[in-house]
Amino acid sequence: MSTPNKKTELVRGLSLTAAVMIAAGSMIGSGIFRKPSVMAGQLGSPELLIIIWIAAGLITFIGALVNAEIAGMIDATGGQYVYFRKMYGDFTAYLYGWSILSVIQTGSQAAIAYAFAEYLGYFVKYPELSKAWTDFAFYIPLAGNIHPFADFGTKAVAILCTIFLTGVNYIGVIFGGVVQTIVTYIKIFAILIIASLLLFFGSGSFSNIYTGFSLPHQTMTNFISMVGLAFAGAFWAYDAWNNVTFVSGEVKNPQRNVPLGLLYGTLIVIGVYVFVNIAYLYVLPIDEMTKSPLVAASAAEKIFGTNGGSIISIIVIISTFGALNGSILATARVPFAMAKAKLFFGSLGKVHPRFGTPHVSLLVQGIWSCVLVLSGSFDTITDYVIFAAWLFYMLGAFGVFILRKKMPDAARPYKVWGYPYTPAIFVLFAFLFLVNSIVSDTENAMMGLILVLSGLPIYFFWKYHDKKNSNGNA
């Protein structure tokens, strides 16, 4: 006897609000609380720091504009993976989907979970392994030594958080979307309240924000390199803006709501990031910010005293929890789409008969994210994620030119503003950013590239397997 409520397709249950919150909530995670300090040390100038945040936001927004055109044309779960198939064919699409699973999104999840655990550690002292375990390392050519058991207490909590949220999304996309919406509202509201309190009650000075554009000698002598590294930090904080495209097949009225989710979500985050960085600088001169790895906690201590660190830690815990949930919810749809296209293991394309979720894909993604947690520290993981992500952002933006040629008559509910100049600017910037990353941050860029290319043997195996089956059936 058949089961009357058995689900064979994913559930289209996400509203425009959920789409906006997935886009914004996936971006606002750990970066805005960790990266300003690193970027301040690289730049040494408050004006330049604010300019980088604005410029990175505008460049990200251009990327969102480009994706909005494509998302309006193509309604399918898997987002950019499906777009790449239309643009470039199976090979590039597969390599992108593999990269999403091997490094881009799973690495992002690992880094966000790591930050969650770090800030939870503000309240709980984690046990650590013996020195013999923490010193254990293995070497990866071009990428350097990996210490899987260093800071193991932090990593163990990060892994437990990843497992929990994988379970949340296993039992339903609507439930996962509701969690995402609620948590995103809370964290945006909390960040704006803290920034406002810093500006009104922080006893700071606007002279910390404008110093006449005086640049330290280190920045002057390595200007391009330092700016490039600072952009990498900002792009990490803005990353995951395209997550909503992965769940296109589960969004109501996707031709309208996915592009709007991209655009509204990105604009919200730009405003939040610039505002909170101005607030940081108002109470923390650039030199003091450089020495404050947990810059938000240091800033909050200016108005709340010793309780400031606790308050910010709670906000970061909520923020990273929401970002991790958004990433897990969205990303599992990419290997699911690959499996449906017969470019990956078929089991990853299964839909849970009761919950209507890509449950196998979620489990595989969760396991690999936990492995990547063991691979390095927060900053190490983020650096190789960003290199891999921007390689495909560049290809995705160039793809809008290809689709204009290949599909000139396709319905485009939204057309990218400023075409062809805006996508051309994005492609050029992405290329220069990648070159600078290879020169300035070689080991992490190579680690990202290694994880991208590690999927090639599986691709050629699948092509050989399909060819063999085709010949056998001929």
pLDDT in tens, 290-300: 888 778 888 88
More confident residue, 218 or 56: 56
Does position 166 have pLDDT exceeding 50, yes or no?
yes
The whole-chain average pLDDT of the chain stands at: 85
CB 269 within 8 A of CB 28: yes
Cα distance between residue 7 and residue 133, in whole Å? 46
Does position 377 have pLDDT exceeding 70, yes or no?
no
Residue 164, both tokens: 């929990």
450: alpha, beta or left, given left = phi > 0 and alpha = psi -120 to 50?
alpha
Q: Angle at CA 420, nearest 5°, toward 416 and 422?
A: 65
- Tell me the pLDDT band of 151, cut-offs 50, 70 and 90: confident
Provide the pLDDT for residue 473: 58
Does position 342 have pLDDT exceeding 60, yes or no?
yes
Task: Provide mean pLDDT across the span 337-362.
Answer: 85
**Which of 197, 183, 202, 201 lies closest to 314, judged by CA?**
183
Give pairs for 293-296: CB < 8 Å, separation 24+.
293/34, 293/37, 293/38, 294/33, 294/34, 294/37, 294/119, 295/33, 295/34, 295/36, 295/37, 295/40, 296/32, 296/33, 296/194
Upstream peptide bond of 420 is cis (omega within 30 degrees of 0)? yes
408: alpha, beta or left, given left = phi > 0 and alpha = psi -120 to 50?
alpha
Cα distance between residue 144 and residue 132, in whole Å? 19
What is the DSSP-derived secondary structure letter of residue 102? Answer: I
Which amino acid type is present at position 280?
Answer: Y
CB 143 within 8 A of CB 187: no
pLDDT in tens, 129-150: 888 888 887 776 655 677 777 8
- Tell me the pLDDT band of 3, cut-offs 50, 70 and 90: very low
**Residue percentage of the chain with pLDDT more than 90:** 26
**Residue percentage of the chain with pLDDT more than 70:** 93
Instruction: Classify burial at 139, counting beta carbons within 10 Å of its beta carbon; exposed 0-12, middle 13-18, buried 19 or more.
Output: exposed
Cα distance between residue 90 and residue 101, in whole Å? 16
Provide the pLDDT for residue 73: 86
Helix 152-170 vs helix 307-331: crossing angle, to nearest 10: 50
Task: Provide mean pLDDT across the span 111-129.
Answer: 87
Q: What CATH number does the domain located at 16-469 have?
A: 1.20.1740.10
In total, the chain counts a number of residues equal to: 474
CA 262, 265, 270, 271 torsion-angle sign: positive
Task: Provide mean pLDDT across the span 66-93.
Answer: 85
Does position 273 have pLDDT exceeding 90, yes or no?
yes
Task: Provide mean pLDDT across the span 258-281.
Answer: 93
Weakest mean pLDDT among 138-147, 151-160, 245-254, 461-470: 138-147
pLDDT in tens, 410-464: 888 888 989 999 999 999 999 998 998 888 888 878 888 888 888 888 888 877 7
**Which of 116, 113, 128, 97 lies closest to 163, judged by CA?**
113
User: What is the 3-class SS of 394-423, one letter each residue?
Assistant: HHHHHHHHHHHHHCCCCCCCCCCCCCCHHH
Domain boundaries, the chain: 16-469
Q: Angle at CA 403, nearest 5°, toward 400 and 405?
A: 115
Does position 466 have pLDDT exceeding 80, yes or no?
no
pLDDT in tens, 203-232: 888 888 987 777 777 777 788 888 888 998
